[in-house]
Amino acid sequence: MSQRVTLLRPDDWHLHLRDGAVLRAVCPESARHFGRAIIMPNLVPPVVTGAEAEAYRARILAARPPGSGFTPLMTLYLTEDTDPEDVARAHASGLVTAVKLYPAGATTNSASGVRDFDRVRGVLEKMAEIGCPLCVHGEVTDPEVDIFDREAAFIDRVLDPIRRATPGLRVVMEHLTTQDGVEYVKTSRDGTLGATITTHHLIINRNHLLVGGIRPHYYCLPVAKREEHRLALRAAATSGDARFFLGTDSAPHTDANKESACGCAGCFTATNTLPLLAHVFEEEGALDRLEGFASRHGPAFYGLPENTDRIALTRGATPTAFPARIETEDGPVTVFDPGFEVYWRVDG
Ligand code: DOR
Ligand code: ZN
Protein backbone atom coordinates (compact mmCIF):
# COMPACT_ATOMS: atom_id res chain seq x y z
CA MET A 1 0.00 0.00 0.00
CA SER A 2 1.45 3.35 -0.90
CA GLN A 3 1.40 6.13 1.65
CA ARG A 4 1.80 9.85 1.00
CA VAL A 5 2.72 12.82 3.17
CA THR A 6 2.94 16.44 2.14
CA LEU A 7 5.14 19.05 3.77
CA LEU A 8 5.70 22.74 3.45
CA ARG A 9 8.83 22.90 1.32
CA PRO A 10 11.78 22.13 3.65
CA ASP A 11 14.92 24.19 4.18
CA ASP A 12 18.42 23.00 5.00
CA TRP A 13 19.85 25.01 7.89
CA HIS A 14 23.44 23.73 7.40
CA LEU A 15 24.83 22.92 3.98
CA HIS A 16 28.22 22.74 2.26
CA LEU A 17 28.06 23.53 -1.45
CA ARG A 18 31.81 24.11 -2.04
CA ASP A 19 32.88 25.98 -5.17
CA GLY A 20 33.80 25.41 -8.82
CA ALA A 21 33.12 21.99 -10.34
CA VAL A 22 31.75 20.46 -7.12
CA LEU A 23 29.38 23.40 -6.55
CA ARG A 24 28.05 23.04 -10.09
CA ALA A 25 27.45 19.32 -9.58
CA VAL A 26 25.93 19.34 -6.08
CA CYS A 27 23.89 22.57 -6.09
CA PRO A 28 21.08 20.97 -8.16
CA GLU A 29 20.88 18.12 -5.62
CA SER A 30 19.84 20.54 -2.86
CA ALA A 31 17.89 22.89 -5.14
CA ARG A 32 15.63 20.01 -6.24
CA HIS A 33 13.89 19.71 -2.85
CA PHE A 34 14.91 22.55 -0.55
CA GLY A 35 13.64 26.12 -0.58
CA ARG A 36 16.59 27.71 1.21
CA ALA A 37 19.83 26.64 2.80
CA ILE A 38 22.31 28.15 5.22
CA ILE A 39 25.55 27.97 3.24
CA MET A 40 28.72 27.12 5.12
CA PRO A 41 31.65 29.49 4.49
CA ASN A 42 34.57 27.04 4.90
CA LEU A 43 35.94 27.41 1.38
CA VAL A 44 39.65 27.69 0.73
CA PRO A 45 40.21 30.57 1.38
CA PRO A 46 37.18 31.03 3.66
CA VAL A 47 34.29 33.46 3.10
CA VAL A 48 35.23 36.07 5.68
CA THR A 49 33.93 39.43 4.47
CA GLY A 50 30.62 40.68 3.17
CA ALA A 51 32.21 41.24 -0.24
CA GLU A 52 33.38 37.61 -0.36
CA ALA A 53 29.91 36.39 0.64
CA GLU A 54 28.35 38.47 -2.12
CA ALA A 55 30.68 37.00 -4.75
CA TYR A 56 30.13 33.45 -3.46
CA ARG A 57 26.37 33.97 -3.47
CA ALA A 58 26.54 34.96 -7.15
CA ARG A 59 28.47 31.76 -7.96
CA ILE A 60 25.82 29.68 -6.16
CA LEU A 61 22.97 31.42 -7.97
CA ALA A 62 24.73 30.71 -11.27
CA ALA A 63 25.02 27.00 -10.35
CA ARG A 64 21.27 26.57 -9.81
CA PRO A 65 19.29 24.72 -12.45
CA PRO A 66 17.33 27.03 -14.78
CA GLY A 67 14.12 28.24 -13.16
CA SER A 68 15.14 27.15 -9.64
CA GLY A 69 13.95 29.32 -6.76
CA PHE A 70 16.50 27.83 -4.34
CA THR A 71 17.77 30.62 -2.07
CA PRO A 72 21.23 30.48 -0.50
CA LEU A 73 21.36 32.14 2.93
CA MET A 74 24.94 33.26 3.31
CA THR A 75 27.18 33.05 6.37
CA LEU A 76 30.50 34.67 7.24
CA TYR A 77 33.42 32.69 8.61
CA LEU A 78 34.40 34.19 11.96
CA THR A 79 38.09 34.94 12.37
CA GLU A 80 39.98 36.77 15.11
CA ASP A 81 40.26 39.67 12.65
CA THR A 82 36.60 39.87 11.66
CA ASP A 83 35.39 43.47 11.60
CA PRO A 84 32.13 43.87 13.60
CA GLU A 85 31.06 46.70 11.31
CA ASP A 86 31.47 44.53 8.20
CA VAL A 87 29.25 41.89 9.83
CA ALA A 88 26.68 44.53 10.79
CA ARG A 89 26.59 45.95 7.24
CA ALA A 90 26.30 42.52 5.58
CA HIS A 91 23.54 41.50 8.00
CA ALA A 92 21.60 44.76 7.71
CA SER A 93 21.59 44.54 3.92
CA GLY A 94 20.11 41.03 4.06
CA LEU A 95 23.15 39.54 2.35
CA VAL A 96 24.27 37.54 5.37
CA THR A 97 21.97 35.52 7.63
CA ALA A 98 24.45 34.25 10.23
CA VAL A 99 28.11 34.01 11.25
CA LYS A 100 29.87 30.67 11.63
CA LEU A 101 32.29 29.90 14.44
CA TYR A 102 34.85 27.19 13.79
CA PRO A 103 37.33 26.58 16.59
CA ALA A 104 40.69 26.61 14.76
CA GLY A 105 41.64 23.09 13.73
CA ALA A 106 38.28 21.48 14.62
CA THR A 107 37.39 20.31 11.13
CA THR A 108 37.71 20.72 7.34
CA ASN A 109 39.20 24.10 6.40
CA SER A 110 39.01 25.48 9.93
CA ALA A 111 42.62 26.68 10.14
CA SER A 112 41.52 30.34 10.01
CA GLY A 113 39.01 29.81 12.81
CA VAL A 114 39.10 31.07 16.37
CA ARG A 115 41.89 30.16 18.81
CA ASP A 116 41.33 32.81 21.47
CA PHE A 117 37.63 33.39 22.07
CA ASP A 118 38.33 36.67 23.87
CA ARG A 119 39.46 38.08 20.51
CA VAL A 120 35.98 37.75 19.02
CA ARG A 121 34.16 39.33 21.98
CA GLY A 122 33.49 42.55 20.09
CA VAL A 123 31.98 40.77 17.10
CA LEU A 124 29.77 38.59 19.31
CA GLU A 125 28.53 41.63 21.21
CA LYS A 126 27.72 43.38 17.96
CA MET A 127 25.87 40.28 16.75
CA ALA A 128 23.80 40.15 19.94
CA GLU A 129 22.95 43.83 19.45
CA ILE A 130 21.84 43.46 15.82
CA GLY A 131 20.21 40.03 16.19
CA CYS A 132 22.60 38.13 13.92
CA PRO A 133 22.73 34.44 14.92
CA LEU A 134 25.98 32.58 15.56
CA CYS A 135 26.24 29.07 14.09
CA VAL A 136 28.69 27.02 16.12
CA HIS A 137 30.85 24.03 15.32
CA GLY A 138 30.81 22.76 18.89
CA GLU A 139 33.98 20.77 19.44
CA VAL A 140 37.04 21.63 21.49
CA THR A 141 40.36 21.12 19.75
CA ASP A 142 42.46 20.39 22.84
CA PRO A 143 44.54 17.35 21.87
CA GLU A 144 44.10 16.02 25.42
CA VAL A 145 40.35 15.66 24.90
CA ASP A 146 39.20 12.41 23.31
CA ILE A 147 37.48 12.99 19.96
CA PHE A 148 34.28 11.37 21.23
CA ASP A 149 34.15 13.81 24.18
CA ARG A 150 34.84 17.01 22.28
CA GLU A 151 31.25 18.18 21.92
CA ALA A 152 30.42 17.74 25.60
CA ALA A 153 33.66 19.51 26.59
CA PHE A 154 32.88 22.40 24.24
CA ILE A 155 29.57 23.07 25.95
CA ASP A 156 31.19 23.45 29.37
CA ARG A 157 34.43 25.14 28.37
CA VAL A 158 33.39 27.42 25.52
CA LEU A 159 29.72 27.62 24.63
CA ASP A 160 28.16 28.16 28.02
CA PRO A 161 30.73 30.83 29.00
CA ILE A 162 30.18 32.65 25.67
CA ARG A 163 26.41 32.61 26.09
CA ARG A 164 26.62 33.85 29.70
CA ALA A 165 29.00 36.63 28.69
CA THR A 166 26.88 37.70 25.72
CA PRO A 167 23.24 37.94 26.80
CA GLY A 168 20.84 37.94 23.88
CA LEU A 169 23.27 36.31 21.45
CA ARG A 170 21.29 33.78 19.40
CA VAL A 171 23.23 30.57 18.91
CA VAL A 172 22.68 27.48 16.79
CA MET A 173 24.59 24.41 17.96
CA GLU A 174 25.27 22.83 14.61
CA HIS A 175 25.12 19.10 13.89
CA LEU A 176 24.38 17.95 17.40
CA THR A 177 25.79 14.49 18.09
CA THR A 178 25.34 13.83 21.81
CA GLN A 179 22.76 13.45 24.51
CA ASP A 180 24.76 16.10 26.41
CA GLY A 181 24.09 18.51 23.54
CA VAL A 182 20.38 17.68 23.46
CA GLU A 183 20.12 18.27 27.20
CA TYR A 184 22.01 21.54 27.01
CA VAL A 185 19.75 22.86 24.25
CA LYS A 186 16.72 21.95 26.35
CA THR A 187 17.97 24.14 29.21
CA SER A 188 17.37 27.21 27.05
CA ARG A 189 13.90 28.65 27.44
CA ASP A 190 14.35 32.16 26.06
CA GLY A 191 14.61 31.37 22.36
CA THR A 192 18.33 32.15 22.15
CA LEU A 193 19.52 28.57 21.60
CA GLY A 194 18.60 26.14 18.84
CA ALA A 195 20.29 23.15 17.28
CA THR A 196 20.52 21.49 13.92
CA ILE A 197 20.56 17.72 13.59
CA THR A 198 21.83 15.95 10.48
CA THR A 199 20.14 13.09 8.69
CA HIS A 200 23.17 10.84 9.01
CA HIS A 201 23.50 11.26 12.77
CA LEU A 202 19.93 9.96 13.10
CA ILE A 203 21.00 6.83 11.20
CA ILE A 204 24.56 5.85 12.11
CA ASN A 205 26.42 5.35 15.36
CA ARG A 206 30.15 4.77 15.71
CA ASN A 207 29.79 1.04 15.17
CA HIS A 208 28.51 1.67 11.65
CA LEU A 209 31.69 3.65 11.02
CA LEU A 210 34.16 1.16 12.48
CA VAL A 211 32.83 -2.39 12.82
CA GLY A 212 33.70 -4.86 10.05
CA GLY A 213 36.04 -2.44 8.29
CA ILE A 214 36.39 1.32 8.27
CA ARG A 215 33.69 3.10 6.23
CA PRO A 216 35.16 6.35 5.01
CA HIS A 217 31.81 7.60 3.74
CA TYR A 218 30.45 7.46 7.30
CA TYR A 219 33.30 9.57 8.66
CA CYS A 220 32.20 13.09 9.49
CA LEU A 221 32.76 15.66 12.20
CA PRO A 222 31.58 15.72 14.85
CA VAL A 223 32.13 11.96 14.55
CA ALA A 224 29.13 9.67 15.13
CA LYS A 225 28.90 8.64 18.79
CA ARG A 226 27.51 5.68 20.78
CA GLU A 227 24.05 4.30 20.13
CA GLU A 228 22.57 6.00 23.21
CA HIS A 229 23.46 9.36 21.66
CA ARG A 230 21.89 8.46 18.32
CA LEU A 231 18.71 7.54 20.18
CA ALA A 232 18.76 10.86 22.05
CA LEU A 233 19.08 12.70 18.73
CA ARG A 234 16.18 10.71 17.28
CA ALA A 235 14.05 11.53 20.30
CA ALA A 236 14.89 15.24 20.00
CA ALA A 237 14.32 15.44 16.24
CA THR A 238 10.99 13.63 16.38
CA SER A 239 9.73 15.26 19.59
CA GLY A 240 8.14 18.30 17.99
CA ASP A 241 10.39 20.55 20.12
CA ALA A 242 10.99 23.65 17.97
CA ARG A 243 14.53 24.11 19.29
CA PHE A 244 15.63 21.22 17.03
CA PHE A 245 15.61 21.51 13.24
CA LEU A 246 17.15 20.01 10.12
CA GLY A 247 20.65 20.96 9.03
CA THR A 248 21.93 18.18 6.81
CA ASP A 249 25.61 19.15 6.95
CA SER A 250 25.69 17.52 3.52
CA ALA A 251 29.43 17.84 2.88
CA PRO A 252 30.68 16.61 -0.50
CA HIS A 253 34.24 15.40 -0.91
CA THR A 254 35.41 13.48 -3.95
CA ASP A 255 35.88 9.75 -3.45
CA ALA A 256 39.63 10.17 -3.89
CA ASN A 257 39.65 12.49 -0.89
CA LYS A 258 37.40 10.24 1.22
CA GLU A 259 38.93 6.86 0.40
CA SER A 260 42.42 7.79 1.43
CA ALA A 261 44.93 7.15 4.20
CA CYS A 262 43.83 10.49 5.67
CA GLY A 263 40.26 10.80 4.48
CA CYS A 264 38.21 13.98 4.69
CA ALA A 265 35.25 14.33 7.07
CA GLY A 266 31.80 14.68 5.58
CA CYS A 267 28.73 12.72 4.52
CA PHE A 268 27.04 13.75 1.28
CA THR A 269 23.30 13.42 1.89
CA ALA A 270 21.71 16.16 -0.24
CA THR A 271 20.43 13.66 -2.80
CA ASN A 272 18.45 11.35 -0.48
CA THR A 273 18.01 13.27 2.78
CA LEU A 274 14.24 13.71 2.63
CA PRO A 275 13.37 10.06 1.88
CA LEU A 276 15.79 9.01 4.64
CA LEU A 277 14.13 11.40 7.10
CA ALA A 278 10.69 10.08 6.17
CA HIS A 279 12.02 6.57 6.89
CA VAL A 280 13.39 7.64 10.29
CA PHE A 281 10.30 9.58 11.30
CA GLU A 282 8.06 6.69 10.23
CA GLU A 283 10.15 4.28 12.32
CA GLU A 284 9.65 6.60 15.30
CA GLY A 285 5.90 6.87 14.66
CA ALA A 286 6.35 10.58 14.09
CA LEU A 287 5.67 11.25 10.42
CA ASP A 288 3.33 14.04 11.49
CA ARG A 289 6.31 15.81 13.10
CA LEU A 290 8.57 15.75 10.04
CA GLU A 291 7.16 19.03 8.78
CA GLY A 292 8.04 20.79 12.01
CA PHE A 293 11.60 19.49 11.96
CA ALA A 294 12.28 20.04 8.26
CA SER A 295 10.11 23.03 7.37
CA ARG A 296 8.87 25.06 10.36
CA HIS A 297 11.25 25.14 13.31
CA GLY A 298 14.18 26.53 11.30
CA PRO A 299 12.39 29.58 9.91
CA ALA A 300 10.88 30.20 13.36
CA PHE A 301 14.34 30.29 14.95
CA TYR A 302 15.81 32.50 12.23
CA GLY A 303 12.75 34.80 12.21
CA LEU A 304 12.05 34.09 8.54
CA PRO A 305 8.75 33.24 6.88
CA GLU A 306 7.97 29.60 6.20
CA ASN A 307 7.98 28.48 2.59
CA THR A 308 4.51 28.55 1.11
CA ASP A 309 4.63 25.76 -1.48
CA ARG A 310 4.60 22.08 -0.63
CA ILE A 311 6.39 18.87 -1.55
CA ALA A 312 5.03 15.35 -1.33
CA LEU A 313 6.75 12.15 -0.26
CA THR A 314 5.37 8.77 -1.24
CA ARG A 315 6.17 5.40 0.28
CA GLY A 316 6.19 2.94 -2.61
CA ALA A 317 5.98 -0.84 -2.72
CA THR A 318 9.55 -1.26 -3.95
CA PRO A 319 12.79 0.28 -2.67
CA THR A 320 13.74 3.66 -4.09
CA ALA A 321 16.84 3.63 -6.27
CA PHE A 322 19.12 6.55 -5.41
CA PRO A 323 22.25 7.28 -7.42
CA ALA A 324 25.32 5.76 -5.77
CA ARG A 325 27.37 8.80 -6.66
CA ILE A 326 27.19 12.22 -8.28
CA GLU A 327 29.72 12.85 -11.02
CA THR A 328 31.72 16.08 -10.90
CA GLU A 329 34.54 17.38 -13.08
CA ASP A 330 36.81 16.82 -10.07
CA GLY A 331 35.72 13.17 -9.70
CA PRO A 332 32.76 11.28 -8.22
CA VAL A 333 31.12 12.12 -4.89
CA THR A 334 29.50 9.13 -3.14
CA VAL A 335 25.93 9.58 -1.93
CA PHE A 336 25.33 8.53 1.69
CA ASP A 337 24.16 4.90 1.83
CA PRO A 338 22.03 4.30 4.93
CA GLY A 339 22.67 0.56 4.79
CA PHE A 340 18.98 -0.36 4.53
CA GLU A 341 16.28 -0.17 1.88
CA VAL A 342 14.29 3.05 1.75
CA TYR A 343 10.82 3.01 0.24
CA TRP A 344 10.16 6.75 0.40
CA ARG A 345 10.73 9.11 -2.50
CA VAL A 346 10.02 12.75 -3.19
CA ASP A 347 7.31 13.08 -5.83
CA GLY A 348 7.90 15.12 -8.93
O1 DOR B 1 31.95 16.25 8.46
C2 DOR B 1 32.14 17.46 8.30
N3 DOR B 1 32.43 17.97 7.09
N4 DOR B 1 32.10 18.26 9.36
C5 DOR B 1 32.44 19.55 9.28
O6 DOR B 1 32.39 20.20 10.28
C7 DOR B 1 32.92 20.12 8.02
C8 DOR B 1 32.43 19.38 6.89
C9 DOR B 1 33.17 19.72 5.61
O10 DOR B 1 33.34 20.90 5.31
O11 DOR B 1 33.57 18.80 4.91
ZN1 ZN C 1 29.25 21.45 8.29
User: Using an 8 Å Cβ cutoff, are 345 and 310 in contact?
Assistant: no
249 noted as active-site residue? yes
- Assess whether the C-beta atom of 328 lies below 6 angstroms from ligand 1: no
Of the listed 19, 249, 288, 347, which one is catalytic? 249
Domains along the chain with CATH numbers: 9-308 (3.20.20.140)
Say which ligand is closest to the CA of 110: 1
Q: How distant, in Å, are the alpha carbons of 276, 340, 346 from that of 310?
A: 18, 27, 11
- Mean pLDDT lowest for which of 103-117, 233-247, 289-303? 103-117
Ion ligand 2 — residues with CB < 5 Å:
249
Confidence of residue 270 (pLDDT cuts 50, 70, 90): very high
The rounded distance, in Å, linking the Cα atoms of 337 and 268 is 9
Amino acid letter, residue 121: R
- The predicted pLDDT at position 115 comes to 93
Per-residue pLDDT band at 109 (split at 50, 70, 90): confident
Q: Is 221 in the pocket of ligand 1 (CB under 6 A)?
A: yes
* Whole-prediction pTM: 0.98
What's the rounded mean pLDDT across residues 31-39? 98
pLDDT tens string 61-93 = 999 999 999 999 999 999 999 999 999 999 999
Share of the chain above pLDDT 70, in %: 99
> What integer pLDDT is reported at residue 1 of this predicted model?
56
Residues 271, 237, 275, CA angle at the centre, nearest 5°? 25
pLDDT for the residue 73: 99
Q: What is the DSSP letter of 101?
A: E
In the chain, pLDDT over 90 holds for what percent of residues? 97
Q: Which element (helix H / strand E) includes 38?
A: strand 36-39
Is residue 108 pLDDT above 90, yes or no?
A: no
Q: Does the beta carbon of 220 lie inside 6 Å of ligand 1?
A: yes
What's the per-residue H, E or C state across 181-197? Answer: HHHHHHCCCCCCEEEEE
* Cis amide bond preceding 65, omega within 30: no
User: How do residues 296-327 score in pLDDT, each as one tens digit?
Assistant: 999 999 999 999 999 999 999 999 999 999 99
Is residue 265 lining ligand 1, measured as CB closer than 6 Å?
yes
- Rounded-to-integer distance, Cα 91 and Cα 182, Å: 29
Per residue in 126-183, pLDDT (tens digit) is: 999 999 999 999 999 999 999 999 999 999 999 999 999 999 999 999 999 999 999 9
Mean pLDDT value across residues 88-107: 95
Interval between CA 198 and ligand 2 midpoint (Å): 9
pLDDT tens sequence across 198-246: 999 999 999 999 999 999 999 999 999 999 999 999 999 999 999 999 9
Instruction: Output the CA 222–ligand 1 centroid distance in Å.
Output: 8
- Which residue's CA lies nearest to atom 3 of ligand 1? 266
Q: What's the gap in Å between 266 CA and the centre of ligand 1?
A: 5
